């Protein structure tokens, strides 16, 4: 039997090779392309309990930054982005921006807490005894925060009030280190331990300096000391008319200021969280430009400017938008004491402090001043070099997220941490202009790190920010308490007491940030600069904040308005693409809802008792999980390659059976049983399939490597059974028909019988008639082409008309169809195999009707006329198959999306025209057989 089968295949070598090549192409394509079906899929779990939409639909964060509570219970605390510093590179951000279906991709880079200063003012007018010639007013400041529950006393400050004349230092821009000019025209020795201070005129023409420890030479690193350790002596002259005269330093000169009231000003260090954004993206996302109330908005090209400050010194300054609401709960209370016997003139700093401490006095009242008032006063001065606002970035503090312990009743207990190490501000040789915040010495709840100091090298680098505009954070989208949706970037940092004891301790007011970077409550970013300023600002830093500065990307998806299943699927697909391309963590924000949590704060070091708070956390409406799964849509497309190949192969085997009917009839007459005749046909097909499978096994791995698709040997080994099964499936029906055929059937024609004879009047009509004579073969060829065109229509519609994805509903379920490169290749291969099937139908028609065509040639038909006849047959097959396939693909896509947009119709039309064109080109191959027809021989045989 095997020898007989081999002889049959050798006798039809050309046909056998063509069939084996078809099986080889289909099998190799299937095996290689299925290596690309395993892909990353983002699955969403959980029910959406609230139909809400935040300003963004997807939050993209660095890999591994989800907190344990978020991972386990999908809970997120307010302003959670404030504790996330860097981790996303600009290249990854560009990858996200290029993904189709994204309306806005807004990056935000949390840089950390910079230090600024806010002035506190105390009116001492009523504390002055105008009858005394000389007196000192002592202020004993106490810092208060967290609704007065955290308190810390500071070193006293002093104001010396004298009626005697004062001699003031002058600034002429040319002071040397040994002497200083004064207002009396004389020059006095400069004492670095006393500073450039006023001198009190004494009897006899003498004068003595009134030292001020705040003006003495200080260590370069002010951050090594707390602002509670600062003390000073201000000198004021009480004029005969009852007004007060004092010296005021301006940037380029000194001047005397006379006022009706005695108001002293001190500076308190305030940390503000600084973040960098893309101004245009932030405007589209939350309306940042519309929230600017003074000055100008940020511009995308706002960057770091460098200003030489003299030999070896360079200042780097960035433009920022400053907040109009500082969200600070800090008050300074000062007890006033009048010291009538204190005489500070002529004393050095050490003796001055001892003298002031020993002095006794009379209570003169209490003054309080809130830092929020000082900040508003600063804003009221307007944006200028001497007014609002500037701050230092010599040391940028970064505070991470707090950790929690879960108590039996479900309460979250924040884990307390010791006060962070002042060494974060650097060593003695580092430069910081301001002392560290007083509450930084309190216990905290957040891990604290610091960006490195600017490299010193040969140049001293000073980093500062300057205000170019003021924005109101409560005018940003989603910020208002009335319309706030959870998971916004900017949320008011307020938390209420959870029990009666805590509410009483807080005075019925919410707890607000205290100014401690490591404190529990974190403020939103209140200083905003442009992303363009970050690289130059952090130049020279080895920290990842410079190389990967972006903390998160907030993404809003197009065509999403509120929550629907279709919108959810559209968002899911975009999130899946982001995760697949970047490897970053993605979270979906739609359906998120308030989930207040009871949080227990351990007692602080400065007197705050233990508190139970109700904090407005958010619950994610759905959870996203990245899984590795098989793309079922791709598998279907790849199976279609096999289906079309099976149709092509089945048609060829059927034609071979019809061609060999006389031979098979003779075998039946010689006594061959039915099963042996069927085995003969199946054996020939199986041998072709086996040969194609072995060749595919050898080609799959190198071809996959060339295409960048991982194909291991186990997957490649599937080529043999796939090719064998494909061949057997294609040959089963023809083999069964051959086995059951009666020997007398060899005498019947191979065409369908005509019920009514019509005479075709045109070549087109004759071509259609010829196709109808073999309806099975015609339907098979047109069907193979239709399958390919339908698949290509869906794939092309998803890629071009729907930005890479069709999202719709099918049988009540939301489904999506995303296009990958392997899908396009499979659809194109299916169309090409369909075109090959059409060409094979034409070839078989020419072969079976060779005698008819020879007769027409003998009657005078030219080769051109015969070629047009065959061409019209191919065109008719192509039009029928392509139009049917395009209609099926168009209908399937329209059914999914529930509409018929013009772009979809255009895509279907173009694909159909492409299918007709490919088929017409394929039809050129069989027409070349017409020239090889031997007219005389065929007529003689006929």
| Closest to 234 (Cα-Cα) out of 327, 157, 124, 339 | 157
**pLDDT reported for residue 429:** 66
pLDDT, tens digit, 9 for 90 and up, residues 273-300: 999 999 999 999 889 999 999 999 999 9
Report the pLDDT averaged over residues 251-264: 84
Phi, psi of 674 (to 5 degrees): -60, -45
Low-confidence winner among 191-200, 361-370, 485-494 (lowest mean pLDDT): 485-494
Question: Does residue 893 sit in helix, strand or coil?
Answer: helix
pLDDT, tens digit, 9 for 90 and up, residues 871-901: 788 888 888 888 888 888 788 777 766 667 7
Label residue 674 by pLDDT band (50, 70, 90): low
**pLDDT reported for residue 67:** 81
Label residue 3 by pLDDT band (50, 70, 90): low
Number of helices followed by number of strands (H, E) in the chain: 23, 37
Considering 477-486, 728-737, 814-823, the range whose residues carry the highest mean pLDDT is: 728-737
* Mean per-residue pLDDT over the chain, rounded: 79
pLDDT, tens digit, 9 for 90 and up, residues 63-109: 888 888 777 777 788 877 888 888 999 999 999 999 998 999 999 99
| Closest to 577 (Cα-Cα) out of 923, 838, 820, 920 | 820
**Model confidence at 804: pLDDT above 60:** no
Q: For residues 640 and 720, is the Cβ–Cβ distance under 8 A?
A: no
Label residue 515 by pLDDT band (50, 70, 90): confident
**Model confidence at 759: pLDDT above 90:** no
- CA distances, 291 to each of 198, 324, 469, 890 (Å): 46, 10, 10, 47
CA distance 875 to 917: 9
**Model confidence at 729: pLDDT above 50:** yes
- Strand ranges inside 631-683, DSSP E: none
Q: Is the dihedral of CA 78, 83, 88, 89 positive or negative?
A: positive
**pLDDT reported for residue 607:** 94
**pLDDT reported for residue 259:** 94
Q: Which residue stretches of 60-103 are H helix?
A: 68-73, 90-97
Q: Is the dihedral of CA 250, 254, 258, 264 positive or negative?
A: positive
pLDDT, tens digit, 9 for 90 and up, residues 459-499: 678 889 999 999 998 888 754 343 344 455 677 778 999 99
Q: HSE-up of 692 (CA within 13 Å, CB side)?
A: 32
**pLDDT reported for residue 661:** 62
| Non-local CB neighbours of 622 within 8 Å, separated by 6+ positions | 44, 45, 46, 47, 48, 568, 588, 590, 591
pLDDT, tens digit, 9 for 90 and up, residues 654-664: 666 666 666 66
pLDDT, tens digit, 9 for 90 and up, residues 834-875: 777 777 777 777 776 767 777 777 777 777 777 778 778 888
CA distance 94 to 107: 10
**Model confidence at 932: pLDDT above 70:** no
pLDDT, tens digit, 9 for 90 and up, residues 290-349: 999 999 999 999 999 888 877 778 888 999 999 998 888 999 999 999 999 999 999 998
CA distance 5 to 20: 15
Q: State the DSSP code for 105.
A: E
**pLDDT reported for residue 806:** 45
Considering 614-623, 750-759, 866-875, the range whose residues carry the highest mean pLDDT is: 866-875
Phi, psi of 705 (to 5 degrees): -65, -40
């Amino acid at each position: 039997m095997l020898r007989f089968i081999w002889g049959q295949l050798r006798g039809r070598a050309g046909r056998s090779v063509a069939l084996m090549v078809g099986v080889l192409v289909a099998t190799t394509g299937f095996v290689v392309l299925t290596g690309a079906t395993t892909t990353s899929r983002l699955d969403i779990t959980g029910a959406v309990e609230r139909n809400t939409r935040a300003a963004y639909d997807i939050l993209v964060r660095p890999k591994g930054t989800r907190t344990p509570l978020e991972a386990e219970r999908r809970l997120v605390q307010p302003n959670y982005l404030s504790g996330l510093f860097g981790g996303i590179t600009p290249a990854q951000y560009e990858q996200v921006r290029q993904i189709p279906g994204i309306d806005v991709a807004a990056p935000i880079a949390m840089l950390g807490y910079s230090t600024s200063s806010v002035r506190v003012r105390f009116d001492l007018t009523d504390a002055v005894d105008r009858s005394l010639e000389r007196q000192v007013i002592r202020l004993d400041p106490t810092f208060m925060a967290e609704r007065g529950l955290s308190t810390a006393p500071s070193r006293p400050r002093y104001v010396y009030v004298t009626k005697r004349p004062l001699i003031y230092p002058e600034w002429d821009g040319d002071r040397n280190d040994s002497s200083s000019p004064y207002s009396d025209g004389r020059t006095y020795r400069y004492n670095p331990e006393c500073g450039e201070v006023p001198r009190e005129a004494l009897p006899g023409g003498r004068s003595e300096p009134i030292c001020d420890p705040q003006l003495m030479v200080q260590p370069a690193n002010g951050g090594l000391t707390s602002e509670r350790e600062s003390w000073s002596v201000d000198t004021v002259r009480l004029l005969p008319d009852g007004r007060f005269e004092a010296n005021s330093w301006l940037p380029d000169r000194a001047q005397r200021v006379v006022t009706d009231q005695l108001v002293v000003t001190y500076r308190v260090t305030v940390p503000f969280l600084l973040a960098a954004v893309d101004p245009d993206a932030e405007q589209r996302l939350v309306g940042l430009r519309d929230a600017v109330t003074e000055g100008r908005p940020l511009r995308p090209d706002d960057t770091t400017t460098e200003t030489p400050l003299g030999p070896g010194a360079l200042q780097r300054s960035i433009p920022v938008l400053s907040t109009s609401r500082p969200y600070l709960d800090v008050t300074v209370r000062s007890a006033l004491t009048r010291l009538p016997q204190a005489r500070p003139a002529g004393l050095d700093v050490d003796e001055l402090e001892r003298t002031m401490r020993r002095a006794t006095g009379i209570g003169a009242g209490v003054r309080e001043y809130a830092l929020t008032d000082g900040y508003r006063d600063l804003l009221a001065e307007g944006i200028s070099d001497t007014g609002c606002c500037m701050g230092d970035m010599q040391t940028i503090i970064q505070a991470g997220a707090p950790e929690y312990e879960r108590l039996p009743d479900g309460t979250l207990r924040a884990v307390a941490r010791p006060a962070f190490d002042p060494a974060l501000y650097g060593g003695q040789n580092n430069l910081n202009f301001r002392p560290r915040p007083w509450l930084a010495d309190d216990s905290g709840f957040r891990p604290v790190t610091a960006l490195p100091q600017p490299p010193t090298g040969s140049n001293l680098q000073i980093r500062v920010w300057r205000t170019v505009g003021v924005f109101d954070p409560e005018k940003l989208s989603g910020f208002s308490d009335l319309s706030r949706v959870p998971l916004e970037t900017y949320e008011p940092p307020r938390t209420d007491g959870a029990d009666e004891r805590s509410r009483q301790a807080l005075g019925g007011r919410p707890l607000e940030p205290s100014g401690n970077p490591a404190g529990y409550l974190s403020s939103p970013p209140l200083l905003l600069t442009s992303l363009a300023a970050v690289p130059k600002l952090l130049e020279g830093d080895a920290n990842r904040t410079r190389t990967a500065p972006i903390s998160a990307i907030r993404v809003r998806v197009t065509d999403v308005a509120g929550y629907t299943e279709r919108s959810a699927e559209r968002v899911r697909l975009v999130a899946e693409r982001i995760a697949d391309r970047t490897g970053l963590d993605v979270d979906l924000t739609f359906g998120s809802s308030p989930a207040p949590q009871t949080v227990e704060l351990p007692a602080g070091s400065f007197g705050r008792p233990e508190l139970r708070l109700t904090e407005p956390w958010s619950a994610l409406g759905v959870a996203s999980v990245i899984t590795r799964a098989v793309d079922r849509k791709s598998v279907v497309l790849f199976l279609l390659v096999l289906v079309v190949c099976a149709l092509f192969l089945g048609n060829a085997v059927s034609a071979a059976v019809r061609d060999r009917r006389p031979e098979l009839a003779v075998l039946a007459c010689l006594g061959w049983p039915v099963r042996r005749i069927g085995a003969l046909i199946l054996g020939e097909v199986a041998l072709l399939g086996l040969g194609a499978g072995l060749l595919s096994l050898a080609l799959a791995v190198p071809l996959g490597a060339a295409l960048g698709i991982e194909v291991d040997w186990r997957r490649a080994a599937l080529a043999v059974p796939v090719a064998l099964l494909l061949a057997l499936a294609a040959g089963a029906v023809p083999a069964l028909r051959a086995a059951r055929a009666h020997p007398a059937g060899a005498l019947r024609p191979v065409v369908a019988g005509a019920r009514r004879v019509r005479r075709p009047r045109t070549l087109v009509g004759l071509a259609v008639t010829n196709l109808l004579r073999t309806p099975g073969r015609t339907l098979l060829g047109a069907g193979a082409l239709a399958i390919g065109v339908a698949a290509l229509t869906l794939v092309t519609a998803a890629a071009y008309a729907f930005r890479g994805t069709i999202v719709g509903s099918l049988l009540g379920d939301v489904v999506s169809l995303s296009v990958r490169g392997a899908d396009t290749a499979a659809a194109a291969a299916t169309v090409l195999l369909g075109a090959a099937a059409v060409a094979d139908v034409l070839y078989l028609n020419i072969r079976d009707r060779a005698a008819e065509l020879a007769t027409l040639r003998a009657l005078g038909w030219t080769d051109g006329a015969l070629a047009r006849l065959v061409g019209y047959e191919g065109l008719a097959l192509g039009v029928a198959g392509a139009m049917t396939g395009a209609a099926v693909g168009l209908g399937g896509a329209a059914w999914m999306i529930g509409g018929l947009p013009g772009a979809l119709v255009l895509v279907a039309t173009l694909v159909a025209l492409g299918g007709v064109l490919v088929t017409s080109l394929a039809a050129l191959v069989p027409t070349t057989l017409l020239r090889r027809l031997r007219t005389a021989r065929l007529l003689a045989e006929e």
